[in-house]
Amino acid sequence: MTGRIVEWGIFAALVAAGVGVAIFGSGYYAQTLFTATMLILLAVGWNVISGFTGYVSFGQVSFFGLGAYVAALVMIHLAAPWYVAAPVAALAGIAVALPLGLIMLRLNGIFFALGMFGLARIMEIIASSLGITGGPMGTTVPVAQSVNQCALVMVLVAAAALIGSYRLMRSRLGLRLMAIRDDAVAAEASGVNTWTIKVVAFCISAGIAAIGGSLYVWNVGYLDPSSAFTGTIELQTILIVLTGGIGTVWGPLIGGIVIAALSTALWARFPMEEQIVLGALIMFIAVVMPGGLMSAVSRLGWLKRAPIWGPPVDPTTLPPAATDEATSGPAAARREPVLSCRGLGIRFGGVVAVKDVDVTAYPAEMLAIIGPNGAGKSTLFNLISSFALPSTGDVSFAGRKVSGLPAHALARSGIARTFQTSRLFPLLTVWETVLLAASSLHASRAEGVAATTRILAEVGLLEHWAEFPDTLSPGRQRLLEIARALALKPRVLLLDEAMAGMSAHEIARVHAALRHAMAQGTAIIAIEHVLPAIAPLARRVQVLDFGQTIAEGIPRQVLSNPTVIEAYMGADYEEPAHGAA
Ligand code: ADP
Ligand code: MG
């Protein structure tokens, strides 16, 4: 708490100092301040898409230049003041980013980065060839009354952007952005529409850059394509974020101050070497301090990111939650399947991973799927949960065909899953991991927090709420993944070898949580390599081998089935020990 007060005290002091220099400083100081805060603003914008969301862009200057041109046109042709031109520029940035993001953010990270690089070049060529913008010669623009006025506006705008970025990082949107950055597949499985969320982040980031461009052109009173789309601004923006700490709220501010001080000092004494030093600095930071100055600061325990929608009180001091709210459950008598898959199949090149498999799951009971390694079990889960598109067959869920729906939509409508190899978010806490999934379901903050608290208590992780996954034991990591899936209140829960590597105590925890979920009507499909881990819970077993169902039935029957024994033991296996099941 005191940390937060110090944090905001320093911030307020910096803003006050900036305002003081902007009002009373000489033209030189005001101009230096303007440039530094403009770069901080651009850095905040770049950090939203490239830091929080993890999509590194080499073309942020596209929106800077676009904003500059739109603002110039508005100020010239509509004789509008800067405070009209800047919002119009922001809207233009968003309007261009929206369709562009819808296309580009389908791409892989590296192709997105390259695509953005190309975009900046295209924008520069367009600006050179359009008569309305003065072509390659550029155009003069109504300029601000004084540099001091520009600096004052820029300080306040940059401060607002930093506050906005802080609030973003504590919001549901911020949580989703970080989840996408950490593991987009796991984010989808938690019900996050990753594509839409990325596009939203891209639009915010573009809008901020465009405002930077609009104030830039108002400051210099002149605009030409090569200064609007210059690589220097791009480079400085990225350098600031890397120096300060990518993906952190205060990184752009700290980096901005350090780089501004450095380049001012260099420029005064060694104007020719400035670029060389800055270039060398990027390399140095990349090698020695990938987390930027913020990583050193947070190692001292300062400026830690605040937990998102943290628990109202320290949950470890709470009395144990009474989890059993009337374990009546929906009418278990009706045996209507909640999930039914018919003829599912998929091939990868020459490999037929799954072939003509039917799966039926009933409410409030567990189906175990077993089979040797490579039998196609995990692939079958990918088909059911829409992480892979079946080449044959279809999936019906709650009486509705769901094949082809996006994975996040299925997760929200009630098919939750875990992954064979844990997919947790390295930089999200236990609390935030479960909250992410819970808030896919609950619109209200209070409900999301309540659900998260309840589920963490149920799996016994509440006291670890503030920890990061890498500090948890492997068994607890598994529990966390199960908790995340349970937070989606699934009607069908798919567990892929969820109990592998767990202690007996942890398995007991999971069994209790699964029994509880089944009592509420959840159908569970559990893959295990070997049956004992789930045999006590499973009502039916289905055995896969070479992508096909080779046996199904009640556990005891299936385990004594000769075909099953052969699949597990190999064809030359002799007499099995009967009655061992
Ligand atoms: P299990 O979970 O039963 O051990 P998997 O479903 O992981 O088996 O794999 C089934 C088969 O499909 C294996 O032969 C595997 O190599 C293949 N396979 C799975 N995913 C892919 C993929 N994305 N591309 C190519 N082959 C794959
Ligand atoms: Mg598998």
| E strand residue ranges, 36-108 | none
Cβ-Cβ contacts under 8 Å for 20 (sequence gap 6 or more): none
In contact, 52 and 74? CB cutoff 8 Å: no
Place of tokens 């913008």: 133
Tens-digit pLDDT string for the chain (581 aa): 688 899 999 999 999 999 999 999 999 999 999 999 999 999 999 999 999 999 999 999 999 999 999 999 999 999 999 999 999 999 999 999 999 999 999 988 899 999 999 999 999 999 998 877 788 888 888 898 899 999 999 999 999 999 999 999 999 999 999 999 999 999 999 999 999 999 999 999 999 999 999 999 999 999 999 999 998 899 899 999 999 999 999 999 999 999 999 888 888 888 778 778 878 888 888 888 888 999 888 888 888 888 888 886 666 665 554 444 444 444 444 578 999 999 999 999 889 999 999 999 999 999 999 999 899 999 999 999 999 999 999 999 999 999 889 999 999 999 999 999 999 999 999 999 999 999 999 989 999 999 999 999 999 999 999 999 999 998 899 999 999 999 999 999 999 999 888 888 888 888 999 999 999 999 999 998 777 778 889 999 999 999 999 999 988 888 788 888 888 766 554 544 444 43
Q: What is the pLDDT of residue 581?
A: 39
pTM: 0.92
Shortest-distance ligand to the CA of residue 388: 1
In contact, 30 and 151? CB cutoff 8 Å: yes
What is the DSSP-derived secondary structure letter of residue 470? G
Number of C-beta neighbours around residue 166 at 10 A? 18
What phi-psi label fits residue 521: left (phi over 0), alpha (psi between -120 and 50 degrees) or beta?
left
> Is 382's C-beta closer than 6 angstroms to any atom of ligand 1?
no
The distance from CA 514 to its chain's CA centroid, rounded to whole angstroms, is 28
> Is 378's C-beta closer than 6 angstroms to any atom of ligand 1?
yes
Q: What is the pLDDT of residue 319?
A: 53
| E strand residue ranges, 220-310 | 222-223
> Is 389's C-beta closer than 6 angstroms to any atom of ligand 1?
no
Ligand 1 geometric centre to CA of 376 (Å) = 6
In contact, 24 and 152? CB cutoff 8 Å: no
What phi-psi label fits residue 331: left (phi over 0), alpha (psi between -120 and 50 degrees) or beta?
beta
In contact, 321 and 453? CB cutoff 8 Å: yes
Q: What is the pLDDT of residue 318?
A: 57
Shortest-distance ligand to the CA of residue 500: 2
Ligand 1 geometric centre to CA of 256 (Å) = 48
Q: What is the pLDDT of residue 329?
A: 46
Ligand 2 geometric centre to CA of 423 (Å) = 14
> Is 207's C-beta closer than 6 angstroms to any atom of ligand 1?
no
CA angle 115, 116, 118 (to 5 degrees): 65
Q: What is the pLDDT of residue 316?
A: 62
Q: Can you tell me whether residue 351 is helix, strand or coil?
A: strand
Nearest atom within ligand 1 for CA of residue 544: 3
Residue type, 485: A
> Is 225's C-beta closer than 6 angstroms to any atom of ligand 1?
no
Q: What is the pLDDT of residue 324?
A: 45
In contact, 226 and 151? CB cutoff 8 Å: no
Whose C-alpha lies nearest to ligand 1, atom 23? 348
What is the DSSP-derived secondary structure letter of residue 327? T
> Is 373's C-beta closer than 6 angstroms to any atom of ligand 1?
yes
Beta pairing partners, 549? 544
Q: What is the pLDDT of residue 452?
A: 95
Whose C-alpha lies nearest to ligand 1, atom 5? 376
Separation of alpha carbons 214 and 218, rounded Å: 6
Q: What is the pLDDT of residue 571?
A: 52
Ligand 1 geometric centre to CA of 374 (Å) = 6
Enter the tokens of residue 145. 């009354």
Ligand 2 geometric centre to CA of 528 (Å) = 8
| E strand residue ranges, 362-448 | 366-370, 392-397, 400-401, 415-417
Segment 349-355 long-range contacts (CB within 8 Å, at least 24 positions apart): 352/547, 353/379, 353/547, 354/379, 354/380, 354/383, 354/390, 354/547, 355/546, 355/547, 355/548
Ligand 1 geometric centre to CA of 467 (Å) = 33
Place of tokens 């925890």: 509
Enter the tokens of residue 177. 């952005």
Ligand 2 geometric centre to CA of 388 (Å) = 14
Q: Which phi and psi angles does 234 have, rounded to 5°?
A: -55, -50
Ligand 1 geometric centre to CA of 283 (Å) = 40
> Is 375's C-beta closer than 6 angstroms to any atom of ligand 1?
yes
Cβ-Cβ contacts under 8 Å for 115 (sequence gap 6 or more): 59, 104, 107
> Is 345's C-beta closer than 6 angstroms to any atom of ligand 1?
no
In contact, 44 and 38? CB cutoff 8 Å: no
Nearest atom within ligand 1 for CA of residue 380: 6
Nearest to 403 by CA among 351, 347, 341, 359: 341
> What crossing angle do the helices spanning 27-46 and 231-244 adopt, rounded to 10°?
70
Which of 351, 385, 549 maximizes ligand 1 atoms within 8 Å of its Cβ, making it the mutation to test the pocket?
351
> Is 377's C-beta closer than 6 angstroms to any atom of ligand 1?
yes
